[in-house]
Amino acid sequence: MKGGAVVLPQSSIPDPQFSLFISDLHLSADHPHSTAAFDDFIATAACQAEALYVLGDLFEYWAGDDDLHAPFHQHVIDAFRSLRDTRVYLMHGNRDLLMGEELAHACNATLLADPTLIDLYGTPTLISHGDALCTDDIEYQKFRTLVHSVDFKADFLAKSLAERKAYIEQLRRHSETEKKSKNMSIMDVNNEAVAGLLRAFDYPRMIHGHTHRPARHEHLIDGHLCERWVLSDWDSQIAVLRCDNSGIRFQSIS
């Protein structure tokens, strides 16, 4: 085990066993299409899986666990709690990095560090949100370092919920404006950053989100061939990644 990663065992549920991976749902009351797809996914595919991993940006934004009783958030929480035979894992994204243990407990879920190494049906697999790999976007990485700092989080959470939401809305508008002027290539992962992370964890398979570019990639690193799977965002293509003993594949959600 390296870098403080947690190796999570798979649960022992009778065959067929499979696990599902999703990210970048950006759920909010303003996105009824994604919410309807999420509800359908929970009631059909997710309830049959032994494990569901949400690799960040579940919500459009998360202002703090003191907002979990909002009607829309309670709707999402109730959906997760309905998964009585499915283990649920939540990971922070860049939009919901303030998700805490109170929310995880309400969802009957486990909050994971980013990155986390898991044993996925015999294959070591590194899971991450993925934004830390976009190192070519220097301004974003500076901002990411700031908002992930303990002091910033403490100061931010000391503000009222209304103040936090207003600040986040301002950040979202600024981010959307900036994206229009950025070169799209710098918002993708940096191959050296990917290689460095895979090397640090002994060349596992990797699954991540964030970039909104679903695909399977191969990386030859120090003679090791590593798979990297990028999850779909639900704004443009509603799909999940399904993993079982026979392999890994994308699965569309109607």
Per-residue pLDDT tens listing for the chain (254 residues): 444 455 555 544 345 699 999 999 999 999 999 999 999 999 999 999 999 999 999 999 999 999 999 999 999 999 999 999 999 999 999 999 999 999 999 999 999 999 999 999 999 999 999 999 999 999 999 999 999 999 999 999 999 999 999 999 998 887 777 766 667 778 899 999 999 999 999 999 999 999 999 999 999 999 999 999 999 999 888 999 999 999 999 998 86
Q: What's the domain count of the chain? A: 1
Separation CA 134–CA 187 (nearest Å): 6
Is residue 186 one of the residues assigned to a domain? no
| pTM (2 d.p.) | 0.91
CATH number at residue 218: 3.60.21.10
Give domain status of residue 195, yes or no.
Answer: yes
Residues 55, 129 contacting (CB under 8 angstroms): yes
Handedness of CA 205, 13, 27, 241 (dihedral sign): positive
Host domain of residue 58: 19-132+191-252
Residue 213 in any domain: the answer is yes
Cross-strand bridge partners of residue 219:
226
| Gap between the Cα atoms of 232 and 214, Å rounded | 5
Q: Residue for token digits 């392999």?
A: 247
CA-CA distances (angstroms) from residue 150 to 97, 98, 110, 145?
Answer: 12, 11, 21, 10
Q: Where are the alpha helices (DSSP H) in 111-149?
A: 138-147
232 found inside a domain: yes
The DSSP bridge pattern shows strands 123-128 and 205-208 to be: parallel
The rounded distance, in Å, linking the Cα atoms of 52 and 137 is 30
Confirm whether 64 is domain-assigned.
yes
Separation in Å, CA 104 to CA 29, 77, 148, 246 = 20, 9, 19, 30
Other Cβ atoms within 10 Å of 241 Cβ, number: 23
| 95 domain-assigned | yes
**Residue 147 resides in a domain:** no
- Is 163 within a domain? no
Tokens of 187: 């918002």
